[in-house]
Structure 1
Amino acid sequence: MADYQTIRTGAGTRAAEIDQGLRAHMNKVYGTMSVGMVITGLAAWSFAGLATTADPSGATAQIANDTFLTQFGQAIYASPLRWLIMFAPLIMVFAFGAVINRISAAGAQLFFYTFAVLMGLSLSSIFIVYTGVSIAQTFLITAIAFAGLSLWGYTTKKDISGWGSFLIMGVIGLIVASIVNIFLASPAIMFAISALGVLIFAALTAYDTQRIKNDYIQHAHSMDREWLAKSAIMGALNLYLDFINLFMFLLSFMGNRE
């Protein structure tokens, strides 16, 4: 009886340690993601400020009654460089997945924050296209939706791991359709892409949250600090991308243009 009680006590202690470690791991994931979001927001706002001016002297183009593009704005929005800026974040995501096992946790974190700056540059045009109020409103709605979806993914007893392959195929389809629509410029296709994008990245938010949780639990018996740190950064990147894409697709519906 004493041995059985000792086993039960040991198992309970181990389960408590895993729960405590999981909470710390998820806090690290959300904390890293939040820092990345702040970096992206500040970078986007700063780059948009550098790209526009109210002074027509030295400006390269007029984009509104009292707004002109600077030489920097001309370079990032109206020159061939804009294609590199547009696709560079996607290239970095694939590169991150390829090198994550070969770099240190500190290197992975630096890579993520560099990616957040580049994403800010890529998204900076929203401060020119949309009003500040609509951007703030859409961000708040996205944050509320993201929190609810992530909480559901973390707490649900339903196994949603089977969603993964369908969601990845959906993301690939969105990327292909978006590239095609760059040349077609069809409002109907853009509407369909945005609607599907909201649904896909809402589902991915819940899916990724559950996957991050399950990955930690499955490796809890053999993990080391380096693995834990890199796993948290990769999880933060996944949720960061879910949030950014959900925000951008919602902004296409809700944003008021300048």
Structure 2
Amino acid sequence: MHQQPHLTPQEMLDMQLEQSRFMTKVYGWMTLGLLITAITALFTVYTSVFDFVFYNQFTFIGILIGEIALVIYLTRRIHKMNPATAVTLFLVYSAVNGLTISAYFLVYTTGSIVSTFMITAVTFGIMSVYGLVTKTDLTKLGNLFLMGLVGFIIASVVNIFLQSEALYWIATYVGIIIFIGLIAYDTQKIKTYYFASTTATGEHTKASIMGALSLYLDFINLFLLLLRMFGRRR
């Protein structure tokens, strides 16, 4: 983990306050992203946009490819972007993600979606606070979770062809454990972004967007996996 130089008590207090402000920005951007995703999903379901997205195979595949390309581009190129571009791309990605997950609003009841969201929010809050306050270095566990994530993705892709119910539920339970762990790991890692970024104008903003994207993805994926368990189909 990041080693801090020797500082006076006042300097340490000032740094902790700045780091707290930085984390507040991270959570703020993440919350805004989730809000945009939810609004977009609801708008899609109750308008003709849904037909445009899901009843045209080429459109749907194009949106999926664009969504993946957008998050990869944002992750790899954010350090070379200006802050306004980074913010815009994150918000656009949040909206596009809302398009693709809007179908869940037709598959599951509104009540079960809301209750699952609350379960996700509470779980996220607990694990994120743990990541903030724990003195334990979560790097090794984080690396294990990341390797598990690769296995989870491979199993999910394979099961598209196998259509195995057993593999489906194994991947679901394992995925839930992975993303719960990643919330704590990513939160702890994001704490170091403030110190790793330079004091140049906008660098902290880009670092906060990068952190928000990581936590946003953890939250969304955990929510969708929990929805498999707790969601009631219409």
TM-score by shorter chain over 0.5 = yes
Distance in 1 separating the partners of 2:67 and 2:173: 22
Distance in 2 separating the partners of 1:185 and 1:36: 32
- Output aligned runs, 1:187-206, within 5 Å: 187-206=165-184
**1:219 paired residue number:** 196
**2:33 paired residue number:** 36
Structure exhibiting the larger radius of gyration computed from Cα positions: 1
Within the candidate set 202, 219, 223, 1:243 is matched to 219
Deviation at 1:185, TM superposition (A): 2.1
Q: Report % sequence identity.
A: 36
Quick check: 238-247 or 180-189, which moved more?
A: 180-189
Q: Contact 1:154/1:209 (CA < 8 Å) preserved in 2? A: yes
**1:155 paired residue number:** 133
Quick check: 190-199 or 83-92, which moved more?
A: 83-92
Question: Which residue identity does 2:108 align to in structure 1?
Answer: Y
- Output aligned runs, 1:13-162, within 5 Å: 13-51=10-48, 72-73=50-51, 75-77=53-55, 79-162=57-140
Distance in 1 separating the partners of 2:201 and 2:68: 28
Deviation at 1:32, TM superposition (A): 0.4
Residue 162 of structure 1 aligns to a residue whose secondary structure is helix
TM-score, with length taken from structure 1: 0.83
Distance in 2 separating the partners of 1:75 and 1:92: 18
The alignment yields a C-alpha RMSD, in angstroms, of: 1.9
Question: Which residue identity does 1:83 align to in structure 2?
Answer: I
Question: Which residue identity does 2:143 align to in structure 1?
Answer: S
Any stretches of 5+ residues in structure 1 without a counterpart?
A: 1-7, 52-69
Any stretches of 5+ residues in structure 2 without a counterpart?
A: 1-5
Deviation at 1:122, TM superposition (A): 1.0
Deviation at 1:78, TM superposition (A): 5.7
Question: Which residue identity does 1:211 align to in structure 2?
Answer: K
Q: How many residues align?
A: 229
Deviation at 1:80, TM superposition (A): 3.7
Taking a change above 3 Å as real, the CA distance of residues 232 and 224 of structure 1, as seen in their structure-2 partners, is same
TM-score, with length taken from structure 2: 0.91
Q: Contact 1:76/1:85 (CA < 8 Å) preserved in 2? A: no
Deviation at 1:79, TM superposition (A): 1.9
Distance in 1 separating the partners of 2:159 and 2:65: 15
Deviation at 1:86, TM superposition (A): 3.4
